[in-house]
Amino acid sequence: MPAPTPAPYLAAAVQFEPVLGDVEGNMEALLRLCEEAAAAGAKLIVLPEMATTGYCWQDREEVAPIVEPIPGPTTEAFTAFCARHDCWVVVGMPEVVEDSTVYYNSAALIGPEGVAGIYRKTHAFISEPKWAKDGDLGLPVFETPLGRIGIAICMDAAYPETTRIPALRGADIIAFPTNWLSEKAPSPSWWARAVESGVYLIAANRYGVERGVQFDGGSCIIEPDGAIHASLDTGDGVVLARVDVARARHKQPEGCPVNLLAARQTGAYGTLTLNTHLWNPLEFHGLYGHRPLPEGRVSRVAAAQFEPRGGNAGGNLAAIAAALAGNPGIDLLVTPEYSLSGRPATPEQAAAWAEPVPGPATEALTAIAGATGAHVVAGLIERDGKDLYDTVVLVGPSGPVGMYRAVHLDDAAAAWATPGREFPTFDIPAGRIGLLAGTDALFPEAGRALALAGADAIAVAAGLPWPGVRPWGATAIPMPPHIEAGATEDHFHLLRERSRENNTYVLYANAPSAGGWSGVFSAGPEDVPREDALVAGDGPGVAVGRIDTTNLAGSRYATNPVRAKDLVRMRMPIWYDPLQAPAGSWVIGAVVDEEEWE
């Protein structure tokens, strides 16, 4: 019988700057901060990554004197604390497996009766391989009186899989000990992990400088709808916020057009457990002479933001032609969802406005493409026999190159449309292009499937009203020169995160009525300025950017980040099977018990 849903309670994220190697002093300070949180009423307290020891260890020999088993002295001290206050603590620490010399970057979940779970960091940052083994416990979820708790550690948040799988297993909360750096925090990556699966994310970060490394602070508690009501920019302290587990179990926050888990389409996710970038992608994607990546080049691209008119193909085509005429030399233009047909309000409208592909609208679009030499991505209602689809087409000067039928349908489209079954890519001079409709952007599986297929760019034809773009204020933490430390209007933009996590360009054309903020998001490395272009706000406009797929001259290896896809290559698909399990299977609601993690 399922456990009852817990009543709302206070949770705490503790921000703390440890002293490298001073376990005793760090423990005293952490327990003081935990006492402060408990005195305020916190029932779940999350501490930073490697909070007891500091982070920047140069090798195994240096860290060896302070690693300890779980359970061990540190967890015993926190067990006593939890017993006194009837609360739970997640603490990040270096772990050694008893009777071995195997070390992990770990987090322990501790309750009044002792250790209730262990998580070992799955996705290593650059420093862990100096001393720690990759985690071997998978992505568990732990049933507690406070709800179902999953854990992710720092770099894990760069990978949607790390929080998606716990969410599929029923997690209400992701406890997130981190030592995040080189970015104004709260990081947009943290935000993405919370909103895409509708979970609370309790982010406990450190701040300060250790061995020349500047950490970001910004500890916070992110709600399932993306709201942040409490955060701490810098300094030691406690962030408190209310957790209502019932909200995390309702997977369609206000304004969200679809249930974030129930609308997944696992039949289309067949490649998500593959690791397609282990080998040189310039060779892998052309293996056996089949579909080598297009020759590298620099292309001028754009995303047009305008309101498609219902049942007015002529007016919509004129808007597309105007976007190209006003920005000559465009190689690839992306336009909003239903940009040819208009968005239907009823199934009857959908049926009336539908047409085949190819058909009158795509023929007219071909003429526009032919006159400008551009390729154009546009959306329409497609009729194929008795079935209707929310379809995105890619049309070039010679006609349709390909089309994509939306796999993830919002609730309105589900009343009349049949979902698509796959995520195809198409090769044009600008590169390998994947196509998505707006609601697909809410599902990390969609962009990931295209990245694994070698997509250089993902063109998203959208009318997506949620989760919206979120501003954030200035930080006092010193940032690298290419990072904006001041207040920003677009600190969190979900489509920018889809670009970052997949090492792809994203061309996002959103309708003004859905909130706008269309843009071209770059795929460069994190240590250089981004080359994004945005239509700020919900007015009409065109964002113009570029796609660069060139390789270093003379190199047989991929030297361009969009082709090398380093972040994608470092995925850990050995743990990703639940992504492909059918809805309603053992995955949904599966919770790891004590025997499994031991």
Residues classed as catalytic: 49, 121, 154
Q: Nearest CA to 250 among 242, 263, 259, 241?
A: 259
Q: Nearest CA to 45 among 99, 88, 2?
A: 88
Q: Nearest CA to 141 among 112, 170, 108, 104?
A: 170
Q: What are phi and psi of 449, to 5 degrees?
A: -60, -40
Residue owning tokens 């989760």: 467
Asked if residue 71 has a cis previous peptide bond (ω within 30° of 0), the answer is yes
The whole-angstrom separation of Cα 156 and Cα 140 is 13
**Amino acid letter, 7:** A
Q: Nearest CA to 337 among 464, 247, 429?
A: 464
* 320, burial (CB in 10 Å: exposed 0-12, middle 13-18, buried 19+): buried
Please name the helix (run of DSSP H) or strand (run of DSSP E) that holds residue 243, with its range, or none: strand 237-243
The whole-angstrom separation of Cα 8 and Cα 242 is 7
The whole-angstrom separation of Cα 359 and Cα 375 is 17
The whole-angstrom separation of Cα 422 and Cα 527 is 34
The whole-angstrom separation of Cα 392 and Cα 397 is 17
**Amino acid letter, 361:** A
Q: Greatest CA span in the chain, whole angstroms?
A: 75
Query: Checking DSSP bridges between strand 219-222 and strand 228-232, what pairing results, if any?
Result: antiparallel
The three state secondary structure string of 335-402 is CCCCCCCCCCCCHHHHHHHCECCCCHHHHHHHHHHHHHCCEEEEEEEEEECCEEEEEEEEEECCEEEE
The whole-angstrom separation of Cα 155 and Cα 416 is 41
DSSP state for residue 476 in the 8-state scheme? S
Q: Are 390 and 437 in contact (CB under 8 A)?
A: yes
Residues, the chain: 598
Question: Where would I find the H helices in 552-598?
Answer: 561-564, 566-569, 594-597
Structure tokens at 126: 């650059």
C-alpha dihedral sign at 341, 268, 504, 195: positive
Q: In what order do the strands lie in the sheet containing 457-462?
A: 425-428, 431-437, 457-462, 505-510, 519-521, 533-534
The whole-angstrom separation of Cα 401 and Cα 397 is 9
Question: Where would I find the H helices in 415-565?
Answer: 444-452, 494-502, 561-564
The whole-angstrom separation of Cα 542 and Cα 547 is 16
Residue owning tokens 């020349």: 212
C-alpha 110 chain-centroid distance = 28
Q: Nearest CA to 495 among 195, 219, 198?
A: 195
Four-CA torsion 287, 288, 291, 297, nearest 10 degrees: 50
